[in-house]
Structure 1
Amino acid sequence: MSFCSFLAPWSCWVIISLYSSLLFVHVSWAEKRGGYHYHTLHIAARLRETSSPPLELHKTFQQEDEVGKNPWRLQVFHRDSLVGGNVSYEQRFKERLERESRRVKALDRRVERKLKGREKKRKVEHKAKIEDFGGGVTSGMMVGSGEYFTRIGVGTPAREQYLVLDTGSDVVWVQCQPCKDCYDQTDPVFDPSSSASFTSVSCGSEVCSELEEPSCESLGCAYRVNYGDGSHSVGSFATETLTFGNTRVQNVAIGCGHDNQGLFVGAAGLIGLGAGALSFPSQLGSLYGTKFSYCLVDRSSQSSGVVDFGPGSVSPVGSVFVPLLRNPRFSTFYYVPLTAIGVGGLLVSLPQKVFEFDVTGEGGVIVDSGTAVTRLQRDAYEAVRDAFVVSTQHLPRAEGMSMFDTCYDFAGLQTVSVPTVSFRFLNGAILTLPAENYLIPVDVMGTFCLAFAPTAGSLSIIGNIQQQGVRVSIDSVNSVVGFGINQC
């Protein structure tokens, strides 16, 4: 049970706000020179990581036995661990940015479609039945689906599959036999006829009505998930048992995709972690209060991250908590009330209400595990970038690269001092990012770029590069989002 459960909502928020303000003294400490606050960026260490090969999955699952000791924990890895291959850091980075651009465009199209008039459906809760819980996770970038994978079992008996974990999606789905059109995946495609627990959902059921695009076929309810960039999954809707380690979760509503297209890179499907009624957290909500937290690893890391579910997954100790906002037009996304951005300890002058969503649902800021680079509306981005450039006049510049227009030549250097970058929220909480979460290597020679970019759409996104090494906690019961530096 959460500590907020024992308090009135207003008193809970007083405690959270005071705690977050006090915590700022710890998380935002940095060297101060010439009126600016600076962090130390360790160049040599970061470049050594770029030359390391991707983590090998079979070794990881052997080494991470401690995950199995926590029945509410899943292991998380980077996409390169699944795809593998002898590919240079520069090539992997280039491909990553290409996928990133398509992902953001897909989100923008999704928002645009919804704003053109599609009404939100009546919310219907569907709750899964759980016997126990636990498992393992892999990082991967997928167009329209997210960047991080987990290894789970589907059906009875369980057939293990790689599924993407994505906070920007709700529907859980896997590719299924018979395939009308399926992309290549690492494991054999799931055959529902061989599962004793696969049950079709009827067209008139409440869970079917919760789908954004439901339809009816001869075997019952059918679903279609479009990601805005041409990627999609179409098939029958059903309930099935999912297995994580030794834990079986029964009666999970999933899509059984017979027609699937997209650059899904080896994964069998997707497990949605969004805020909508059909997401995995929502289906398990009555069992653990719709709470979970995650730690995402750097793509060149030789370790794994985690996703934790359950009452103990969200801890008030060591985290900055901010309000979780609800946008009635976009129930999937996790909105946060970002109000300002600081560079070097000084607030950047930004257009008024640039981070708010309006009465139509347009705009706002979301936390997204599937988008790599933090995206800001152009006016806001240019103001932040210009402030960063002014406070880095002592650093050698380099030419821009792809979507990045603010880059530096750190070749031959061991460490450099860089201005701090911080997010300020409506309740006064401040999250100051580690230096490696906003200045990242784009090659092995020492070119580093500011990992922020402008967006052509109205939606701003806090991306997963800024989240790496930070425990992100989602507590839908108490409507808070937590950010814990050094809590992974």
Structure 2
Amino acid sequence: MEPCRLPAALSISLLIFLFLVEVVSAEKKSAYHALDVVSRLREVSSPVQVYTTSGKEEKMVSPWSLQVFHRDGLVMGNVSYEQRLRERLERDSRRVKTLNRWVEKKLNGNEKERIEGKAKIDDVGGDVISGLSEGIGEYLIRIGVGTPATMEYLVLDTGSDVTWLQCKPCSHCYNQVDPVFDPSLSTSFTAIPCDSQLCNELDTSGCDKKGCLYGVSYGDGSFTVGHFVKETLTFGTAPVKSMPIGCGQDNEGLFQGAGGLLGLGGGPLSFPSQLGSSGTTFSYCLVDRYSDSKGTLRFGPGAVSSEKSVFTALLKNPQVNTFYYVSLTSITVGELLVALPKNVSGFDEMGKGGIIVDSGTTITRLQAQAYGPLRDAFLAGTTDLPRADGMSIFDTCYDLSGRQTVEVPTISFQFSNGASLALPASNYIIPVDSYGTFCLAFAPTSRDLSIIGNFQQQGIQVSFDSTKSLVGFADNQC
């Protein structure tokens, strides 16, 4: 008996139908990511690794490649995950408010502030920030300061320009892990004259008989005040001589163990700007706090994984040259496209609005008119997941206790040049306790500035090329 044969036209139609079914299935599959609930809960329940200053310093990958640590490793004592997260979100909210306040001050054209005579915090304006923004940034590096070099933990911060650290003699110094830097033991410590261009570039500056003064203060009462000087900073085996830094003799606040801050912003006093041609390109990788590996900070032509990066335009706001703006035009949530309003995707002619990439802010903030549709699209794709009460800045939470894995809508950033960055599920679903409550890791803001935070950047190499005016993102390159 001969086998049944379909007519040729019907066979072709059947093949096309099967092909379309496979395409639709693949598209639907790519619209969702699997979240490993058990692994995430195991990670947050693990003890925090505490960084020490004893023993041999770890070798750098190269002279211009440093390891990046999360700040939790400098927090002493047995602190629960829930408490650490709440404190982190409180710091984050204060930082977002202060960044916006600083932008508003710049846009209003306020005059530079001056400190006269002996540095006093009462003489320093309350709205000037340097990146710690009412707490401490979330990631740290370890570098040598002075000659001979002494090792210090510094906060890595793309949201500020001035690099500073605590210095002896201290009238007030907060507790830090390393000994406070003693400039009298360094042969490369040099004062900056009051009439120099470097001193004039400071937002808050002054003068005494020893030279230029700087001041940075924060809305919660934290501050640093001292002399603006030149000193050698050593990255691995590479010394950078005559780098302008703040030498803070009067410092108070919730800085949690780090000695100071490395300013990676785009302004003229930032470390990349002062580094010259070697600083026109740099990148960082911020690994998940609960990963066994460490991130990296790299400078120079080899800092970018160009073949694996997606690039978009680096926008420079002429009114606020510190921040790194990008044109984020829409966000894909599962199979839905959320278009962003113009005041989120870019700033206006007055410099107001826009979205920045920031290493010191944890959770991505979107203006309410952008966050609402994003949240609603995510809710539409998670109707099968049980809801839970909101927590802190999070209003979209789920009870995933007892589940091994769950499927959640894929979230992708779409940029103006057509570039797209798909985020791993662990970069937008955050555990808020050790029992199985997870929340969507985005939050609304009522202010003009939107921010892509470091939680969304985890595991992604973020690069900045000021010469080509590009920002790059490369997943799985940490």
TM-score (norm 2): 0.87
1:344-423 paired onto structure 2 within 5 Å = 344-423=334-413
Deviation string 1:227-266 (CA, Å, 9 cap, x unpaired) is 4443321111110011233332111001111122221101
1:200-236 deviation digits (Å, cap 9, x = unpaired): 0001111111111221211111111234443321111
Residue 12 of structure 1 aligns with which residue? none
| Deviation (angstroms), 1:440 | 1.0
2:11 aligned partner: none
Change in Cα spacing, 1:198 to 1:31, as seen in structure 2 (3 Å) is farther
Tell me which residue corresponds to 1:308.
298
Distance 1:240 1:141, change over 3 A: closer
1:335-355, CA deviations, whole angstroms, 9 ceiling, x for partnerless residues?
001111111032114434433
Distance 1:35 1:165, change over 3 A: closer
Please report the RMSD computed on the Cα atoms of aligned residues, expressed in angstroms: 2.4
Indicate yes or no: 2:37 matched with 1:43.
yes
CA–CA distance in 2 between the matches of 1:318 and 1:338? 20
Tell me the residue number matched to 2:156: 165
Alignment TM-score, normalising by the size of structure 1: 0.85
Query: Partner residue of 1:132?
Result: none
TM-superposition CA deviations, 1:143-193 (whole Å, max 9, x none):
355221111221122222111110101001111122122211112221222
Q: Does 1:103 align with 2:105?
A: no
In structure 2, distance between residues paired with 1:308 and 1:61:
24
Aligned counterpart, 2:5 = none
1:259 paired residue number = 250
Query: Partners of 1:30 and 1:260 in 2: how far apart?
Result: 59
Q: Which residue of 2 aligns with 1:126?
A: none
- 1:433 Cα deviation from its structure 2 partner: 0.6
Q: Structure 2 matches for 1:209-228, cutoff 5 A?
A: 209-228=200-219
Taking structure 1 as reference, are residues 318 and 59 closer, same or farther at Cα in structure 2, changes over 3 Å only?
Answer: farther
Query: What SS class does the counterpart of residue 236 from structure 1 fall into?
Result: strand
Counterpart CA distance in 1 for 2:371 and 2:397 is 15
Task: Name the aligned partner's letter for residue 417 of structure 2.
Answer: N
1:71 partnered with 2:57: no
Determine the C-alpha separation between the residues in 1 that align with 2:305 and 2:54.
27
Alignment of 1:143-162 (within 5 A): 143=134, 145-162=136-153
Counterpart of 2:463, as a letter, is S
1:55 aligns with 2:49: yes
Q: CA deviation at 1:57?
A: 2.5
Instruction: Give the letter for the 2:438 counterpart.
Output: F
CA distance in 1, matches of 2:255, 2:244: 21
Is the CA contact 2:401–2:435 (under 8 Å) kept in the aligned structure 1? yes
Shift of 1:142: 6.7
Task: State the partner residue of 1:23.
Answer: none
User: Structure 1 CA distance, aligned partners of 2:324 and 2:54?
Assistant: 30
Q: What is the distance in 1 between the residues matched to 2:280 and 2:362?
A: 25
SS at match of 2:244: strand
Please state whether the residue corresponding to 1:110 is helix, strand or coil.
Answer: helix
Cα 1:306/1:196, change in 2 over 3 Å: same
Answer with 80-89 or 274-283: which moved more.
80-89
Are 1:442 and 2:432 matched, yes or no?
yes
Range with greater deviation from structure 2 (478-487 or 29-38): 29-38
Moved more, 34-43 or 92-101: 34-43
| Aligned match for 1:231, one of 222, 225, 232 | 222
Letter in 2 for 1:219: K
2:170 counterpart SS class: coil
The alpha carbon displacement at 1:34 in A equals: 6.3
Give the Å deviation of 1:119.
6.6
Contact 1:31 1:39 in 2 (8 A): no
Q: Kindly indicate whether the alpha-carbon contact (under 8 Å) linking 2:459 and 2:475 is maintained by their aligned counterparts in 1.
A: yes
| Residue number among 287, 290, 293 corresponding to 1:297 in the alignment | 287
CA distance in 2, matches of 1:205, 1:30: 64
Task: Report Cα offsets for 1:74-114 as digits up to 9, x if no partner.
Answer: 00111111124211111111111111111111112111222
Deviations 1:448-476 (A, max 9, x none): 10000011210000000000000101111
Partners of 1:260 and 1:59 in 2: CA distance:
22
Deviations 1:299-347 (A, max 9, x none): 2222211111111102311111000001011111000011111110321
Distance 2:154 2:284 in 1: 16
- Larger Cα-atom Rg: 2
Q: Tell me the SS of whatever aligns to 2:31.
A: strand
Aligned length: 439
In the alignment, is the contact (CA less than 8 A) between 1:321 and 1:481 conserved in 2? yes
In 1, the alpha carbon distance for the partners of 2:214 and 2:110 equals 17
Q: Distance in 2 between matches of 1:264 and 1:380?
A: 33
CA contact (8 A) 1:350 1:383 kept: no
SS in 2 for 1:254: strand
Residue 463 (1) aligns with residue 453 (2): yes
- Rounded Cα–Cα distance in structure 2 between residues aligned with 1:30 and 1:54: 43
Mapped partners of 1:289, 1:252: distance in 2: 13
Q: Find the aligned partners of 1:172 and 1:37 in 2 and give their Cα distance.
A: 42
Q: 1: CA distance between counterparts of 2:56 and 2:265?
A: 30
Contact in 1 for aligned 2:136/2:256 (Cα 8 Å)? no
Q: 1:238 to 1:63 in 2, by over 3 A?
A: closer
Give the unaligned 5+ runs of structure 2: 1-22, 114-130
Compare 365-374 and 39-48 and name the one that shifted more.
39-48
Aligned position for 2:185: 194
275, 290, 296: which is aligned to 1:284?
A: 275
Q: CA deviation at 1:289?
A: 4.7
d(CA) in 2 for partners of 1:355, 1:69: 36
Q: Would the aligned equivalents of 1:145 and 1:227 in 2 still touch at CA under 8 Å? A: no
- Counterpart amino acid of residue 276 in structure 1: G
Please list the CA deviations of residues 36-94 of structure 1 after superposition, one character each: whole Å capped at 9, or x if unmatched.
811111111111111111224249987964xx241110001111111242111111111
Q: Which amino acid aligns with 1:103?
A: R
